[in-house]
Structure 1
């Protein structure tokens, strides 16, 4: 039986990695490794909760509750998710990733309990939800302004190249703030309004193609 339980744990880790890959592709706070470990840990705790105390069943006057350990996973993962939620410039980041980690734990518990179809179906729903809703509904609820932080080399023409690319993408520049450090690098804080034809992923890919750009962060 232990080999079957180990298979459940491995399957939960694989499903968690699939969810984490979608998050990593969007450069979110938690990626493949985090979701992989959460899936494995949740499945392990579920297996332990269901089967780990079978040798104690013969003890007189001993009452066992197989749901106690599993119940703690639900609240315990909440602390992990809370660490991924941050507030930057009046904008909350990490809520979707935190919810994804919490759902990954639920998926791991389902597979750990032997509910392979339920756990696998949850993976499909999570990935589809994070992917399709980002593309379709995301634009309808798009904020009036996006805040982007860029670190770039301070070479000649760096700022001109950046502004020209924004103009080419028809991105409206609301505000800009620059700061040059001792390493001849420029930190640029931008407030942008994206057109319907350009989402975050397209803008990110276009900016990474610029020669002087070294790092981009959504704020």
Structure 2
């Protein structure tokens, strides 16, 4: 049980360090609980082994842990528009349950190797993946514009001149202006150079027909009738 606590904590500390929903204590509890259930399955029913009408199956409780842990993992998955977050954390909770079962069953070698590989996947491979996909970064930009001809073309031109590729565009009526002709635009952009992205935002924020402009980690806003040519990080 102590070993399960250590292995679960080693995985959980990486999730905690990255500010994910299921962190240090959650992973410890999942791993420790799984190990305890496995110990119960192996040793808890030893008094009934010799009973003629009783069939002891140590894998039965383990199977319930594997299927039941999915409910906990689902709580770590969040959806925001077309972006889904938390899948890796949910997977780490599930694999920590498997580590706990291995420890509880006495399969310490498998539990140790699995913990080592999980840490490599979450830390080293995560950094390698970010480095590999650094030129495929996707950024969302939300605009509210006056629905006049030519506005969308000006915005697309501002992105195109800076080498920014538009991956997706969603258009909705602006909820804040139901009685007027305003449109909400949500761009999904593929970025290669953050500095050129800021230049494009500054140019778009100066357009007369653009009412507001927001991004996930940047904000360039202006109220109706007022101009703003700056983008704050």
Q: TM-score, normalised by structure 1?
A: 0.64
| Change in CA separation of 1:78 and 1:172 when aligned onto 2, cut-off 3 Å | same
Q: Provide the rounded CA distance (Å) in 2 between the counterparts of 1:144 and 1:138.
A: 9
Number of aligned residue pairs: 156
CA RMSD of aligned residues (A): 2.7
Instruction: State the SS of the aligned residue for 1:104.
Output: helix
Residue ranges of structure 2 left out of the alignment (5+ in a row): 142-193, 203-212, 219-232
User: Deviations along 1:154-202, whole A, 9 cap, x unmatched?
Assistant: xxxxxxxxxxxxxxx74834769xxxxxxxxxxx952469xxxxxxxxx
Partner of 2:168: none
Q: How far off its partner does 1:86 sit?
A: 1.1
User: What are the within-5 Å matches in structure 2 for residues 12-161 of structure 1?
Assistant: 12-141=4-133, 144-146=137-139
Decide whether the 8 Å contact of 1:175 with 1:190 is kept in 2: no
Q: Please give the residue correspondences for 1:158-169 in structure 2 after superposition, counting only pairs within 5 Å.
A: none
**Preserved CA contact (<8 Å) 1:12 1:39:** yes
SS in 1 for 2:55: coil
Of 3, 11, 14, the residue aligned with 2:3 is 11
Tell me if structure 2 keeps the 8 A contact 1:42–1:106. Answer: yes
Higher relative contact order (CA 8 A, sep 6+): 1
Q: 1 CA distance for matches of 2:120 and 2:83?
A: 25
* Distance (Å, rounded) in 2 between the aligned partners of 1:54 and 1:33: 31
Q: Is there any run of 5+ residues in structure 1 with no aligned partner, and where? A: 1-8, 149-168, 177-187, 194-212, 214-219
Corresponding residue SS for 1:145: strand
Indicate the larger mover: 121-130 or 135-144: 135-144
SS at match of 2:79: strand
Q: Give distance in 2, aligned partners of 1:192 and 1:135.
A: 20
Shift of 1:52: 0.8
User: In the alignment, what sits opposite 1:159?
Assistant: none
Shift of 1:68: 0.6
Alpha-carbon separation, structure 2, partners of 1:189 and 1:22: 31
TM-score by length of 2: 0.60
Counterpart CA distance in 1 for 2:7 and 2:197 is 40
How much has 1:78 moved relative to structure 2? 0.8
Which structure has the greater CA radius of gyration?
2
* Alignment deviations for residues 9-46 of structure 1 (CA, whole Å, 9 cap, x no partner): 11101110110000111111111000000010000011
